[in-house]
Amino acid sequence: MSFSVTLAQINSIIGNVNANTHMIQKSIQQAIKADSDLIVFPECALTGYPLYDLTQYPSLHDEIEAALKQIIPMSKQIAIVLGYPKKIGQDVYNCAGWFMNSAIITEYFKQSLVNHTCFDEVRVFKTGLKPSEIITYCNHRFALSICNDIWTPETPLTSEPVDYLINLSASPFHMGKRALRHTILKQARHQAQRILYVNAVGGQDGLVFDGGSQIVGPHDTLYYEAPYHHTDCTTVTLDNLQPIQPSTETLDDLQATLCLGLKDYLHKNHLNRVCLGLSGGIDSALVAAIAVDALGSEHVTGLWMPSPYSSTFSHDCVQALVEMLDIQCIHLPITPAFECIQSTLNKATSKLASQNLQARLRGLYLMQYSNTHAAMALACSNKSELAMGYSTLYGDLVGGIAPIADLTKTQVYTLSRYLNKNHLRIPEMILNRAPTAELAPHQFDTDDLPPYETLDPILEALLDPQHHNKLSTVHADQTLTQLIRNKLQTSEFKRKQIGVIIRTHPTSFNLDRRYPTTYHLPSA
The domain locations on the chain are: 4-249, 255-444
Q: Which residues contact 514 (CB under 8 A, 6 or more apart)?
A: none
- Whole-angstrom CA distances from 229 to 42, 261, 271 are 14, 10, 20
H runs (alpha helix) in 238-311? 251-267, 282-295
What is the topology classification, in CATH, of domain 4-249?
Nitrilase/N-carbamoyl-D-aminoacid amidohydrolase (3.60.110)
Please pick, among 63, 95, 110, 118, the residue that the annotation labels catalytic. Answer: 110
233 in active site: no
pLDDT digits over 466-479, tens only? Answer: 655 667 677 678 89
Please pick, among 147, 233, 275, 380, the residue that the annotation labels catalytic. Answer: 147
> What is the phi/psi pair of residue 194, to 5°?
-140, 150
pLDDT score, position 155: 84
pLDDT score, position 350: 85
**What is the chain's alpha carbon radius of gyration, rounded to the nearest angstrom?**
25
For 85-93, which contacts have Cβ atoms below 8 Å and span 24 or more sequence positions?
85/44, 85/46, 85/47, 85/51, 85/55, 85/60, 85/61, 85/125, 87/61, 91/126, 92/55, 92/61, 92/124, 92/125, 92/126, 93/125, 93/126, 93/128
The gap from C-alpha 438 to its chain's centroid, in whole angstroms, comes to: 31
Residues of the chain falling short of pLDDT 50: none
The whole-angstrom separation of Cα 440 and Cα 430 is 19
pLDDT score, position 292: 98
Instruction: Name residue 89's amino acid.
Output: G
Residue by residue, what is the 3-state secondary structure of 126-139? ECCCCCCCCEEECC
Instruction: Name which of 8, 51, 52 is nearest 26 in CA terms.
Output: 8
pLDDT score, position 345: 82
Contact 504, 177 (CB under 8 A): no
pLDDT digits over 249-288, tens only? Answer: 999 999 999 999 999 999 999 999 999 999 999 999 999 9
Neighbouring-strand partners of residue 165? 143, 195
* Torsion sign over Cα 397, 399, 402, 404: negative
H or E element, residue 83: strand 79-88
For 505-510, which contacts have Cβ atoms below 8 Å and span 24 or more sequence positions?
505/174, 505/175, 505/406, 506/117, 506/174, 507/460, 507/463, 507/464, 507/465, 508/118, 508/206, 508/405, 508/406, 509/383, 509/386, 509/387, 509/405, 509/406, 510/206
43 in active site: yes
Question: Which pTM was predicted?
Answer: 0.95
133 in active site: no
Please pick, among 43, 121, 385, 460, the residue that the annotation labels catalytic. Answer: 43
The whole-angstrom separation of Cα 403 and Cα 499 is 10
CATH superfamily of 255-444: HUPs (3.40.50.620)
pLDDT score, position 401: 98
pLDDT score, position 2: 87
